Structure 1
Amino acid sequence: MKSHLTNDLKYFDYNATHPPFPEILETCLADYLEGFYNPSGITRYSLKNQGKIEQTRKYFASVTKGQEKQFVFSSTGTEANYLLIQSLRVQFPNLESVIVSPFEHSSMYAALETYQFKSDLIATDKSGIIHLNDLEKKLKENPRPVVCLYAGNETGVIQPAKEIQNLTKAYGQLFYSDLMQGFCKVPLFYSLFDGFTFSGHKIGAGMGAAVTYLPKADANFRVFGGGNQENEHRAGTENTFAIECLRQVSEIQLSQLEDKNKRLYEFQSLIEKKAESLGCQVIAKSSPRLPNTSFLLLPIQSVDFFLLGMEEKGILVSTGSSCKSRAREASKSLLYMGYSEEEALRCIRISTGFFTTKEDVDALLIAIQDLIQKFK
């Protein structure tokens, strides 16, 4: 399976959006053009499309050992997170606050605010790992549900999900997790989470489909009314094309996960060894991290010019979360970890993936060395 990217472009922003799998999207598009029928209709053509959606729901139930009716398809990761938090509000109409990691995607904090939950942030440090003793203290003082993503979209740090689950269960609480950066990147034990989310465009399935797993099937919960789609949780015609792409790409990613990660760990080692030799600091280097992510503190001030220089060389990297990088705000994750605003603004994220090659990495390392030496 090859990427559609040309040799002139070296892409290192997989955590923002994974390049699509062309053959999968083209095949699914051809199927959609032939069978474009509304899956909510009553004809056999519509029922065939609804059957595809239910097969995908069944597939994810099999992969995660979850319950089919608790999977809800939506359009984006942000919407998936909103669905998850709204379901929490429906379950606990009088709950005032939730215990939350300081590393969540901005959509998670926005969803909590929208549904009028206060976020009680868990302490952390430069390891990028939450302090479990602080989490236990918060649970002991005021038992509440916990929201903690599995892997940071900027640092790639993997949180101690098993230990978090042990604590939440000891206090009889729910554990919700954003799995956007973990799904199809590392092995996951879904039974650790009461509710979770992931998205198609993070794994190469294109835009338009995301998944929320609800902690229980609740007929009273609906993010949109006006139709009985998605077991009445989300009215609106489902994106049959995007949902089918999500299933097929997931199958490929999961079947090749071990081989892919072996290669990405090698790339990560090459990137970080070279970066450190040039004076860069690898954020949370000693912590468990995704094999595809390196968050680097550059030894230069001219990060904007560095990024422009990389783009001129046909190499795309980022400054962190794609929802914030355009605004060039200091990463809140880094600030919570104890880095200064000046340091946070000198960080770049390099993220690899399925289509990354050794040739891409070699070109990246040459460009990094050239530009750092130029701007020092």
Structure 2
Amino acid sequence: MKKVYMDYAATTPVKKEVLDEMMPYYTTHFGNPSSIHSFGRETRKAVDQARDRIAKTLGTKSDEIFFTGGGTESDNWAIKGVAYALKNKGNHIITTKVEHHAVLHTCQHLEKEGFEVTYLEVDEYGLINLEDLKKAIKDETILITIMYANNEIGTVQPIKEIGKIAKDNKIIFHSDAVQAYGSFPINVDELGLDLVSISAHKIYGPKGIGALYARRGTKIFPMIHGGAQERRRRAGTENIAGIVGFGKAAELANENIEAHNKKIITLRDQLINTLMEKIPYSKLNGHPTKRLPGNANISFEFIEGEALLLSLDMVGIAGSSGSACTSGSLDPSHVLMAIGLSHEIAHGSLRLTVGDFTTTEEVDYVIEQLPKIVDRLRQMSPLYEGVKGGNNNV
């Protein structure tokens, strides 16, 4: 059976060049970077090199990059770290209703501790209104945390404009850039970013390693206590192989982004346009142009997303009904609900994401299989009775 992976937004395979650089740090170069002997100095040098590589991709200095256990930890640290560090100054945080759960659940946790959180509404495409952001700011506002690009529907927020609003009001600005990193050039100064969360496994690096960019001078409380690692900001013996792999993956992902995106966008648009043409009662979710290069999120009316995913899997196609972190939940995606979809249509949504290893033949295979699957599932749906033969979109 043909196997087609179209869930690159959930995770990516480790590239060979990345794995090749990592392997010696599992065996030969295994020293603890905190040790002063030659084994430790060797791995310390590798950590420093990876930090330099990542800093270069963000247009910043290496001492502003802190390694973490992944994007979720980076989000938690950024938000809780600022909240605890500045609680005597204010207790108000601004975010959106379409953030990743790593942000939303962290904010909800802080609400239980007495912090106030404003969750901005979004429009039908998932974009915030900048005027709503300005109106939400109070004297007590200490943090704005808004994702760069949405992991489910792919919509890209106006980060530069948000950064200017934050700077004008002397508010710290954090962005969850886990999905955007490697897909867009990110210069923290040009965008007005004070804190940025990124992760290796979204850019063909290893799982279990992420980073937080923290602008020098930004007050942020440490979340993990212990040793003096990461300049006393994040304790714990470093994941050397993971860090090395992250550095290489970051370098590869940020080489000639424009040319790389051209191929990905071509495949994405072929997928979206053909499926929308072939399958009636379908709707593209997210902004039509301001979206991640590889993201295609489409709702198909009169079917259930779970049945759709299982049917796709039976013909060898891997996709998603939303964020991988919410798989198994019977509740519709909070992102799809926030952009105004009904429960029924939200439940019939499919996220297909293409990546570096996706081929035209694989896209053609999905285009061949998906319309047949949707039609078969609809034939079993009583809701579809009475509308057969139509060719309208939702």
> Shared fold by TM > 0.5?
yes
Q: Following superposition of structure 1 onto structure 2, how do residues 17-32 of structure 1 map, counting pairs within 5 Å?
A: 17-32=11-26
Aligned to 2:316: 314
Aligned mates of 1:218, 1:275 — CA distance in 2: 46
Larger CA deviation: 339-348 vs 129-138: 339-348
Structure 2 letter corresponding to 1:367: Q
- Tell me the equivalent position of 1:248: 248
Instruction: Give matches, 1:234-245, under 5 Å.
Output: 234-245=234-245
Q: Partner of 2:216 in structure 1?
A: 216
User: Over residues 337-365 of structure 1, what are the superposed CA-to-partner deviations in whole Å (9 max), with x where a residue is unaligned?
Assistant: 11122221111111111111111111111
Relative to structure 1, the CA distance from residue 374 to residue 202 in structure 2 (aligned partners, 3 Å threshold; closer, same or farther) is same
Against the structure 1 CA distance between its residues 284 and 27, is the aligned structure 2 distance closer, same or farther, given a 3 Å change threshold? closer
What is the CA distance between 1:142 and its match in structure 2? 5.7
Contact 1:87 1:214 in 2 (8 A): no
CA distance in 1, matches of 2:343, 2:299: 12
Q: Mean alpha-carbon deviation: is it higher for 315-324 or for 80-89?
A: 80-89
Aligned partners of 1:359, 1:151: CA distance in 2, in Å?
28
Is the contact made by 1:293 and 1:352 (CA closer than 8 Å) also made in structure 2? yes
Code of the residue aligned with 1:29 in structure 2: it is: M
Aligned 8 A contact 1:81 1:197 in 2: yes
TM normalised by structure 1 equals 0.93
Aligned pairs (5 A) from 1:276-287: 276-277=276-277, 278-279=279-280, 280-287=282-289
Correspondence 1:146 to 2:141: no
Q: Could you give the per-residue CA deviations for residues 93-146 of structure 1, whole angstroms, max 9, x where no partner exists? A: 233220102121101122223344332011212021001111111126764421
Corresponding letter in the other structure for 2:38: R
Give SS of 1:323's match: helix
Q: Which amino acid in the other structure matches residue 78 of structure 2?
A: L
- Residue 124 of structure 1 aligns with an amino acid whose one-letter code is V
Q: What CA distance in whole angstroms lies between the structure 1 residues aligned with 2:262 and 2:304?
A: 34
Query: 1: CA distance between counterparts of 2:118 and 2:138?
Result: 13
Supply the distance in 2 between the matched residues of 1:186 and 1:162 (Cα, whole angstroms): 13
Alignment CA distance shift 1:348-1:247 (3 Å): same
1:109 to 104, 119, 125: 104
Cα 1:159–1:144 shift into 2, 3 Å: same
Q: Deviation of residue 267 (structure 1)?
A: 1.0
Amino acid at match of 2:337: L
Aligned: 1:56 with 2:50: yes
Alpha-carbon distance between aligned partners in 1 of 2:270 and 2:354, rounded to the nearest angstrom: 12
CA contact (8 A) 2:59 2:186 kept: no
The correspondence of residues 1-376 of structure 1 with structure 2, limited to 5 A, is 8-94=2-88, 95-115=90-110, 116=113, 117-139=115-137, 143-191=141-189, 192=191, 193-216=193-216, 221-277=221-277, 278-279=279-280, 280-376=282-378
* Unpaired segments ≥5 residues, structure 2: 379-394
Which stretch shifts more, 119-128 or 86-95? 86-95
Q: Is the 8 A contact 1:151 1:290 kept in 2?
A: yes
- Conserved 8 A contact 1:127-1:287: no
Contact 1:71 1:212 (8 Å CA) reproduced: yes
Percent identical pairs in the alignment equals 27
SS at match of 1:81: helix
Say how many residue pairs are matched: 370
Cα offset, 1:150, TM superposition: 0.3
| Matches of 1:87 and 1:235, distance apart in 2 | 14
Q: Secondary structure at the match of 2:298?
A: strand
| 1:300 Cα deviation after fit | 3.1
RMSD of equivalent CA atoms:
1.9
How big is the shift at 1:218? Answer: 6.8
Q: Which amino acid aligns with 1:282?
A: L
CA contact under 8 A between 2:4 and 2:318: conserved in structure 1?
Answer: yes
The answer as to whether partners of 1:219 and 1:233 remain within 8 angstroms in 2 is: no
Pair 1:332–1:346, CA change in 2 (3 A): same
Give the CA deviation at 1:186.
1.8
Shift of 1:221: 3.4
Q: Is the 8 A contact 2:304 2:347 kept in 1?
A: no
How far is the alpha carbon of 1:9 from its aligned partner? Answer: 1.8
